[in-house]
């Protein structure tokens, strides 16, 4: 805003608005096309046609369709985000983790989320560059929230201070991802609760 | 063997041997090509050329390149298998699980295994039919071994009889798969041990 001059009062905001509209149209088109016919058949040409922009507009902002996919997924996550930047801390670690994991189950089971998130996961498994960007931009910030919540529980005496929070969160997130990715068994709230309970209690008798 | 007749003593074994040689050549060619240029660029034509067979030979046995991939992966697993059909049971659940999970870590980290298993996982994530065959033929029989070992531990008083063995094994296998698939952090023996220890002990203080 400070860079606008009296003679040409609002060039930047207009261009920015137009760019932002194109960007949104491109990401929405990519998500729709992935949902309709899958990521493997997705082309930059098809995204451009659906979004009503030129191919060059897409190539100016993204080097590949994988890069479009990642940004489309990030936009989808921002759409769904409830604005929270920390996990809940009611003082009850089990209840807080169950609330978060149940919400994750609902997201993983939602049709709007399914095709793009499966596409992104599948591509990340075989594409180390995309995977590195996905984990850095999307996954690790989420996992860090678990680490902070578990550390708070350790400080409050509700979690074993000798346990590694990173390993602990992977015992919760890993089973969910495994069941979702490989569709072994239904991903339900009951399963979310069972995973949290067993991760907290452990398999050996108390 | 009982079906061979005196006049034409060994037609079946000969044909079977030849078929088996072609089948092995096709699966080896598929694995090699996936390792060289990835599953997405794999074609039936390229497999046929590399294996020295006609395309029709491949189509006679497999309906798709995904089906070839699955059989190639199964063959690779049989090659690597040590012949065991049960997890070890020395009476020490933690030690036995660590031995198995460390071996899994070694397999996941082996270059020969990496490309085809990533290809199969990625394709399974977006291809429900292949995924169902993969879980039925490969994954679930392996998971069942964990269920049996955990049940034995419950019967021996070494594991909480109220714990669900299926959830328990997913707390061990899930984190391994998550770390391997998304390359978040190194997959090491130390991590294998940490996952088993935490799954047995639980996150809350004892």
Give the start-to-end residue ranges of the domains of chain B.
12-65, 82-201
Distance CA A179, CA B124 (A): 12
CB A125 to CB B182 under 8 A? yes
> CA-CA distance, A3 to A9, in Å (whole number)?
10
Nearest CA in chain B to A123: B122
CA distance to partner chain A, nearest, from residue B30 (Å): 16
Residues from chain A contacting residue B123 (CB–CB below 8 Å): 122
In the predicted structure, residue B206 carries a pLDDT above the cut 80: yes
- Do residues A196 and A101 make contact, with C-beta atoms less than 8 angstroms apart? yes
For chain B, the straight-line distance linking the first and the last C-alpha, in angstroms and rounded, comes to 63
- Span of A18-22, A128-132, A199-203 with lowest mean pLDDT: A18-22
Residues in chain B with CB shorter than 8 Å from the CB of A128 are 183
**Cβ contact, residue pair B175, A170, below 8 Å:** yes
Confidence of residue A11 (pLDDT cuts 50, 70, 90): low
Beta carbons of A40 and B39 less than 8 Å apart: no
Rounded distance between C-alpha atoms, residue A165 and residue B83, angstroms: 37
Q: Nearest residue of B to residue A128 by CA position?
A: B183
Q: pLDDT averaged over chain B? A: 91
- Nearest-angstrom CA–CA distance, B88 and A185: 26
pLDDT, position B116:
92
- A124-153: burial string, b at 16+ Cβ within 10 Å, e else: bbbbeebbebbbeebbeeebeebbebbebb
Distance between CA atoms of residues B90 and B109, nearest Å: 26
Nearest residue in B to A135, CA atom: B184
The set of residues, in sequence order, having a beta carbon less than 8 Å from that of B94 and lying 6+ positions away, is B196, B197, B200
Quick one: tokens of B99? Answer: 């031995």
pLDDT per position as a tens digit, B46-84: 999 999 999 999 999 999 999 999 999 998 887 766 555
Q: Where does the pLDDT of residue B9 fall: very low under 50, low under 70, confident under 90, or very high at 90 and above?
A: low
Query: How distant is the Cα of B14 from the closest Cα of chain A, in angstroms?
Result: 40
The percent of residues above 70 in pLDDT, for chain B, comes to 92
Q: Which residues in chain A touch residue B137, judged by CB atoms under 8 angstroms apart?
A: none
Among the listed ranges A2-6, A37-41, A84-88, B166-170, which one has the minimum average pLDDT value? A2-6
CATH of region A82-201: 1.10.357.10
Helix (H, G, I), strand (E, B) or coil at A8: strand
Q: What percent of chain A has pLDDT over 90?
A: 82
Q: DSSP code of A54?
A: -
Share of chain A above pLDDT 70, in %: 92
The shortest C-alpha distance from A47 to chain B (Å) reads: 20
The answer, yes or no, to whether residue A203 has pLDDT greater than 80, is yes
Residue A36 contacts residue A42 (beta carbons within 8 Å)? no
Fold topology of B12-65: Arc Repressor Mutant, subunit A (1.10.10)
Cross-chain CB nearest to B175 (options A131, A174, A206):
A174
**Could you say which of B123, B176, B204 has the minimum Cβ distance to residue A200?**
B204
Return the higher-pLDDT residue of B9 and A41.
A41
Contact A125/B122, CB-based, under 8 Å?
A: yes
Which of A125, A143, A202 lies closest to B200 in CB terms?
Answer: A202
CA distance B173 to chain A (A): 7
- Measured between beta carbons, which residues in chain B are less than 8 angstroms from residue A163? 198, 201, 203
Provide the ipTM: 0.88
Point out the least confidently predicted range of A36-45, A143-152, B5-14, B67-76.
Answer: B5-14
Please judge whether A195 and B170 are an interchain contact, meaning their C-beta atoms are less than 8 angstroms apart. Answer: yes
The rounded distance, in Å, linking the Cα atoms of A198 and B201 is: 10
- Check B125 against A125: CB less than 8 A apart: yes
Q: What is the mean pLDDT of residues B154-175?
A: 97
Set of chain A residues whose Cβ sits within 8 Å of the Cβ of B157 = 205
What is the dotted CATH code of the domain comprising A11-64?
A: 1.10.10.60
Dist CA A9 CA B160 (whole Å): 71
């Amino acid at each position: 805003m400070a860079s606008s001059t009296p003679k040409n009062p609002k060039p930047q905001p207009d261009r920015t608005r137009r760019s932002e509209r194109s960007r949104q149209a491109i990401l929405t088109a990519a998500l729709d096309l992935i949902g309709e016919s899958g990521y493997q058949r997705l082309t930059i040409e098809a995204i451009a046609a659906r979004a009503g922009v030129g191919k060059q507009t897409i190539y100016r902002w993204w080097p590949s369709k994988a890069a479009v996919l990642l940004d489309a997924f990030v936009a989808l996550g921002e759409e769904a985000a409830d604005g929270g930047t920390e996990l809940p801390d009611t003082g009850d670690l089990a209840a807080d983790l169950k609330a978060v994991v149940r919400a994750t189950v609902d997201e993983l089971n939602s049709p709007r989320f399914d095709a793009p998130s499966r596409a992104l996961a599948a591509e990340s498994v075989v594409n180390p560059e995309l995977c590195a960007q996905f984990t850095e931009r999307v996954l690790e910030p989420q996992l860090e929230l678990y680490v902070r919540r578990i550390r708070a529980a350790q400080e409050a005496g509700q979690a074993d201070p000798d346990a590694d929070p990173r390993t602990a969160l992977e015992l919760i997130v890993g089973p969910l991802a495994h069941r979702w990715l490989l569709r072994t068994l239904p991903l339900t709230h009951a399963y979310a609760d069972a995973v949290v309970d067993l991760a907290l209690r452990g398999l050996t008798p108390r």
